[in-house]
Amino acid sequence: MLIAILLVSSVLLIVSLLPLSYSQHYLVRSCDFIRLQVVYGALFCLAALLIYTFFIALSPWVYAALVINLITVALQSVWIYPYTLFAPHEVKASNTKAKSGLRIMSANVLMSNHNSDALINLVKKHQPDLLVTLESDAWWQTQMSVLHNDYPYRISCPKDNRYGMHIYSKLKINEYKICELVTKDVPSIHMLFESPNGIEMQGHFIHPEPPSPTEKDTSRPRDSELIMVAKAVKNPIRPVVVVGDLNDVAWSRSTRLFMQLSGFLDPRKGRGFYNTFHANYFFMRWPLDHLFHSSGFSVASIKRLAKYGSDHFALLTELVYEQADQQSHLNKDKRTAKVAETLKKDDVDKSQVPTFTNR
């Protein structure tokens, strides 16, 4: 039993140390995703050690296993702590029930999922102002047409490669552009829209490729897209939101780098993980769908919605624009710019991201 505990504990420690490197190989970067599961595994090993000590014996190997697991828990806690209920809120809670709240719902539909009625019912129940669907193809576009009366402003980019994207808006869209920032046939949507109280805002909706053996063996395309968008939206001239399935977890180095470069805030911090993937396996879930925003917003609510047949849960976030400064709790790393240049592809640049500065 002790040998098994030591073996599992050692593997968990290795998994905790690997992401500290700057390697972009999917085997390394995938270790970012399972930090919660690693903590649960280390805590299970600690409990097993207590049982072993109580019923069998205390030995130097027990102490070694104990130290290994405590190091693992400490390493992982540094990354996931900001998203626990014990951490301070990065974005303050809204003190008003104002009708000017902006409700944004993002839903990765899973292209092979044909339970469109379940998603449509969720939309009708929660009435978001903006709905973005990811992995939506021509079939999904047809099914979602029942929402057209409620959502008069729409942007369609159906694709059959699991990177389709659609925007449904109750709010006026003044201008938009569909781009393929890094990889052909992997689109993003960038737009100007008017908030419920008439303020012009900027939205960037992205779904970069994940590092995986079936997609890309490196996270460089994903990291490049995040870095491009982050640099483009830094110091915005209007309120901005960035929404989508980033194929990255909230606490990864890439996502932290995105926030450091952009100066944007994450309303989930201090409020919970809001694990949106995988909807079918409760023991393997992590926060894969995101909403970040520029300063000036407060948060009225964040909800992970009910299952609707996809491997993702939908995420509903309600923000209120108050034009008040929000303080970021991120530590500004002096090496941020250098790291960004190391991680991104050479042929991408922030100027490729539409920011509508000519308006």
| DSSP secondary structure string for all residues of 172-205 | PEEEEEEE--SSTT--EEEEEEE-TTS-EEEEEE
CB atoms within 10 A of CB 198: 9
Please write down the HEC assignment for all residues of 267-332: CCCCCCCCCCECCCCCCCCECCEEEEECCEEEEEEEEECCCCCCCECCEEEEEEEEEECCCCCCCC
- pLDDT for residue 97 is more than 70: no
**Residue 57 gets which letter from DSSP?**
-
- pLDDT for residue 120 is more than 70: yes
The percent of residues above 70 in pLDDT, for the chain, comes to: 92
Asked if 208 and 182 touch (Cβ cutoff 8 Å), the reply is yes
Mean pLDDT of the 3-31 span: 95
- Residue 59 is predicted with a pLDDT of 86
How far is it, in rounded angstroms, from Cα 292 to Cα 226?
Answer: 12
The predicted-structure confidence for 136-171, as pLDDT tens digits, reads as follows 999 999 999 999 999 999 999 999 999 999 999 999
- Residue 98 is predicted with a pLDDT of 56
The predicted-structure confidence for 203-227, as pLDDT tens digits, reads as follows 999 999 999 888 888 999 999 999 9
The two structure tokens encoding residue 353: 């991201």
Residue, of 83 and 324, whose pLDDT is higher? 83
Q: How far is CA 58 from the centre of its chain?
A: 43
- Residue 99 is predicted with a pLDDT of 59
Mean pLDDT of the 43-48 span: 96
Asked if 5 and 48 touch (Cβ cutoff 8 Å), the reply is yes
How far is it, in rounded angstroms, from Cα 72 to Cα 6?
Answer: 13
The two structure tokens encoding residue 10: 């050692």
- What is the crossing angle of helices 35-55 and 2-17, to 10°? 160
Provide CATH code, domain 102-352. 3.60.10.10
Asked if 220 and 24 touch (Cβ cutoff 8 Å), the reply is yes
Q: What is the pTM of this model?
A: 0.92
Q: Dihedrals φ, ψ of 101, to 5°?
A: -60, 140
Asked if 209 and 183 touch (Cβ cutoff 8 Å), the reply is yes
If pLDDT is split at 50, 70 and 90, which confidence band does 349 have? confident
Asked if 132 and 243 touch (Cβ cutoff 8 Å), the reply is yes
Q: Which of 211, 208, 145, 138 is nearest to 179 (CA)?
A: 208
> How would you list the strands of the sheet with 130-134, edge to edge?
153-157, 165-169, 130-134, 102-108, 315-324, 296-304
Q: Helix-strand-coil percent breakdown of the chain, rounded to 5?
A: 35, 25, 40
If pLDDT is split at 50, 70 and 90, which confidence band does 55 have? confident
If pLDDT is split at 50, 70 and 90, which confidence band does 320 have? very high
If pLDDT is split at 50, 70 and 90, which confidence band does 348 have? confident
- pLDDT for residue 251 is more than 70: yes
- Residue 342 is predicted with a pLDDT of 63
